[in-house]
Chain A
Amino acid sequence: MSVVNPNTSAAAAPDHRASSLVAMLRERFGDQVLHEQPTLTGMPVLWVSRDALVEVLATLRKLPEPFEMLFDLSAVDERLRSHRHGLPEADFTVFYQLLSVSGNRDIMLKVALLEQDLSLPTVIPVYPNANWYEREVWDMFGVRFDGHPNLSRILMPSTWQGHPLRKDHHARATEFDPYTLTVASQEREQQALKFKPEDWGMKRKNDETDFMFLNLGPNHPSAHGAFRLVLQLDGEEVIDCVPDIGYHHRGAEKMAERQSWHSFIPYTDRIDYVGGVMNNLPYVLAVEKLAGIQVNGRIETIRVMMAELFRITSHLLFLGTYLQDLGAMSPVFYTFTDRQKGYDVIEAITGFRMHPAWYRIGGVMQDLPKGWDRLMQGFVDWMPARLNEYERAMMKNSLVWDRTKHIAAFDTANALAWGVTGPNLRATGCDFDLRKKRPYSGYENFDFEIPLAHNGDVFDRGQLRIDEMRESVKIIQQCINHMPAGDYKADHPLTTPPPRERMLEHIETLITHFLQVSWGPVLPGNESLQMIEATKGINSYYLTSDGGTMSYRTRIRTPSFPHLQQIPVLMRGGFVPDLIAHLGSIDFVMADVDR
């Protein structure tokens, strides 16, 4: 084991590359680059002026090693923030996080806005996937984007009053007037849900055809949750479609601003609700960066092992439903049998099945129980034969080929332009996997491959996940064989909850323990960010601490959100069954989209 990944040495290099990048931008844009903010995000964070924004982005998009992807775009309401020394004056900050796959680096641009003048130029011409992100910022913060083709609410109902992520917007239902639903207001809500093709620049008919508008969802067997898609059909051919999301929005980012750093962990489980502890990982890693906690090899390995186990159960759910969406009835029952075996192990180790909330700031909840290795080995021995069986029975079936090959195919450039990450990106032949490119939590110590495919079609997205499960099984096997010894909690004052033994030493440690458990840990004011290769793509948590017991702003970037935005691009001209096949192949859960 302990294969040294060539990319780990890159950790030192970015500093140099980053400073040359910043120097280049400063030289090119002069005063327009207002400030470089030191953070714990691991990337240069530049404040640029509003006027230069589009031009800076366009420059970065066209570098020799371009920033191909607008990875994330959101905002912060700065009005209640106290720790912002030296930062440009701002009531709201909109940030643009760019990712360069070719250069394996990031940059974040921030634009300061004042309350009287909350508007920005749209960046859709540079990055097409900015469309939904800008709508989200409008919805959540009330920042307008000039030139946006359809700046409407995306997560909240169109009848909503206010912008929820503003600090002056209530966080709890009990802070509102009691909710009432009259006949008139119900009628109003119903009308607001009506689809008007004209709003989306669609025509109701052309010279020859009256189009049919088919409302698929929010409750439809293949919508994988509360997802609505309005199809413009000519016969069974999809002329255009409009995805409509927000039916699963629970305001996780708002909740993060009311929960202690520790007590938000269970909420992360429910973001990608089939990903289990995989969701805890980016959050606790980002918090540990803020707190300055280094965890030992045992904690890292336990985390990797459980995360990979959840990757397998998530991919199994994908495989079953993917084949079911192709009309094959039986596979989902077999994959659920396998998942059951996985969950038996998870339950024995964490005491919970789908949402264990098992990772802690500075460790995991408990040490591995006695006999965990035997249980885990049982699962590892069980899976490979089953995976071969799925491949033989389904992925080599000519009917499956007929339904999936060359259907909804896209290339790497298209994927990057639309923010596609994870297996869906790797199905296009791009080997961007954070576990290899930017190893976190000790992934550099494992020997595994990154499966790739080349057509980027529905078939490749299915086959690739079977291959990924094989690699995950390999990783888990290495965890079983080489689990390091050590403590399951880091020895650090901010480890939460603190190790119990230390509590009983004297009154000082007792008080510290009491405060940390009742208030939660106080983290220094700063910003940190962690991206991980989650089950469905890159998931990241961008935390802003204002030096308190709660997060000032928690931005959760989920992979499913851009994946859904891409649907219309691929489906124009396809048939309804192709659309269903594509929906099955994306592997999204609506909680991961709406948060």
Chain B
Amino acid sequence: MSWITLGDWRPEWLTPTVMDIAVAMIQAVVILLVAVLVGAILTVVERRLLGWWQDRYGPNRVGPFGSLQVVADMIKIFFKEDWIPPFADRTLFVLAPAIAMASLLLSFMIIPITPGWGVADWNIGLLFFLAMGGINVYSVLLGGWASANKYALIGAMRSSAQTISYEVFMGLSLMGVVAMAGTFNLREIVNAQQGMWYIVPQFLGFCNFLIAGFAVVHRHPFDQPEAEQELADGYHVEYSSMKFGMFFIGEYVGMLLISALVVTLFFGGWHGPLLSPIVWFVLKTSVFLMLFILVRAALPRPRYDRVMTFGWIVCLPLTLINLLVTGAVILLVAPG
């Protein structure tokens, strides 16, 4: 990792190793804050964009063009009564939103943003993301269970069934990429895409991963667990104040994470001509964030059981075919 040499005046304890650690820590904190902040800002961006697409204004009162809406929202949500229903299971009720937020934020560790930025450079990178995705189910499950509310329970039930089904082929859909790059390390996967982005050879894998990504972060049209028209917000119906805020921001952090992963795995990460790596990364990620929002504006919600059928009958076989073909091609092309 490249860092500026500071000259001879540095104190004894400030060895290059310590400097490396310090830089890594600062980077980690910055990435954490940026992720949360972007998640918060996205809530407003989404409402403005939806407003634009739906022939209306959206929130435009606070600050110039509504830019300070996020501040107003934050003040409101922090100062709301933090109410825990008397019939709820307190421990689990408090734990659930923390898991929702933490599991998704932790996943940002493995995302290589630019050649110099990124928290962890792990050989198990992708597996870590899948593990965190698996843990994230518990937030919805526990939240819905601890609320002791029937709507929340149905939401949690839908969510766990849906996430489990979709995680199966989410992992498998990435195995094509892993096989081609020969590694789980995301930084190496990005570097392997210098010649050609994996979207081209792994188009099926991309489609399946995107669908699974929508499902795992419960974004419309896979928002059955919270389907407003049916379950009146589902698993987080009993939550208020910042506990609700953590579910809410968590959803947007999830969108950000999936977008960043799609860019990293299929769209060459920071690679791109002319502009600096960070600009490319941000641009590409933004495109997928827009896609998340546009899909919400455009589509009705399929029925819950059809979502499950779609996952098992369509997506899973496609994923397996993709993996088989990828494997076969690799074996054919491989020397010897």
Which A residues lie at the B interface, using CB under 8 A? 212, 214-215, 220-222, 235-236, 323-330, 333-334, 337, 394, 397, 399-400, 402-403, 575-578, 580
Contacts and interface: CB of A to CB of B under 8 A. Distances in A.
B168 interface: no
Nearest to B228: A221
Given A399-B221, A399-B299, A327 B304 contact: no
Nearest to A394: B300
Interface residues of B, number: 29
Contacts of B229: 221-222, 324-327, 580
B80 interface: no
A205 to B, nearest CB: 16
A400 B56 CA distance: 24
B303 A577 contact: yes
A333 B227 contact: no
B297 A330 contact: yes
A328 B299 contact: yes
A575 B303 contact: yes
Interface in B126-175: 150-151, 154, 157-158
A295 to B, nearest CB: 40
A326 B55 CA distance: 20
Given A212-B150, A236-B154, A402-B306, A326 B230 contact: no
Nearest to A577: B303
A384 to B, nearest CB: 18
A403 B150 contact: no
Contacts of B317: none
A221 B220 contact: no
A329 B304 CA distance: 17
The 10 A-B pairs at the shortest CB distance, nearest first, are namely A327-B301, A333-B54, A328-B300, A326-B300, A327-B300, A222-B229, A577-B303, A399-B300, A325-B229, A330-B54
Contacts of B150: 212, 214-215
A397 B158 CA distance: 24
Contacts of B221: 327, 399
A417 B79 CA distance: 55
Contacts of A329: 50, 54, 220, 296-297
Contacts of B303: 402-403, 575, 577-578
8 contacts: A212-B150, A221-B229, A327-B300, A330-B53, A402-B303, A402-B306, A403-B301, A577-B230
B302 interface: yes
B305 interface: yes
A513 B121 CA distance: 92
A327 B54 contact: no
B220 A327 contact: yes
B298 interface: yes
B301 A330 contact: no
A320 to B, nearest CB: 11
A577 B304 contact: yes
B209 to A, nearest CB: 21
B320 to A, nearest CB: 24
A215 B231 CA distance: 11
Contacts of A578: 303
A236 B304 contact: yes
B232 interface: yes
Contacts of A337: 55
A334 B54 contact: yes
Given A214-B151, A402-B303, A577-B230, 13 more contacts: A221-B229, A236-B158, A326-B229, A327-B221, A327-B227, A329-B50, A329-B220, A330-B297, A334-B54, A397-B299, A575-B303, A576-B154, A578-B303
Contacts of A575: 303-305
Given A399-B221, A576-B154, A220 B232 contact: yes
Given A221-B228, A325-B229, A327-B227, A403 B300 contact: yes
Nearest to A222: B229
A403 B302 contact: yes
Nearest to B297: A330
Interface string B291-323: 000001111111111100000000000000000
A400 B304 contact: no
A394 B300 CA distance: 9
Contact of A221 (B56, B154, B232, B296): B232
Contact of B230 (A222, A323, A333, A397): A222
Among A324, A334, A337, A576, max chain B CB count under 10 A is at A576
Nearest to B310: A402
A425 B65 CA distance: 49
Nearest to B55: A337
A211 to B, nearest CB: 12
Contacts of B306: 402
A236 B52 CA distance: 36
Contacts of A580: 229-230
A580 B300 CA distance: 13
Contacts of A402: 302-303, 306
B300 A333 contact: no
Contacts of A328: 299-301
B190 to A, nearest CB: 35
Interface string B82-120: 000000000000000000000000000000000000000
Contacts of A220: 232
A234 to B, nearest CB: 12
A400 B300 contact: yes
Nearest to B153: A212
A402 B301 CA distance: 10
Nearest to B233: A221
A334 B53 CA distance: 10
Contacts of A235: 157
B70 to A, nearest CB: 21
Interface in B205-237: 220-221, 227-232
A400 B305 CA distance: 15
B309 to A, nearest CB: 10
Contacts of B227: 327, 577
B56 A333 contact: yes
A576 B305 CA distance: 11
Contacts of B157: 235
Contacts of B158: 236
A150 to B, nearest CB: 24
Nearest to A321: B229
Nearest to A581: B303
B144 to A, nearest CB: 14
B196 to A, nearest CB: 33
B304 A399 contact: no
B166 to A, nearest CB: 17
A329 B306 CA distance: 19
B315 to A, nearest CB: 16
Contacts of A577: 227, 230, 301, 303-304
A323 B53 CA distance: 17
Contacts of A324: 229
Contacts of B154: 214, 236, 576
Nearest to A219: B232
A324 B220 CA distance: 13
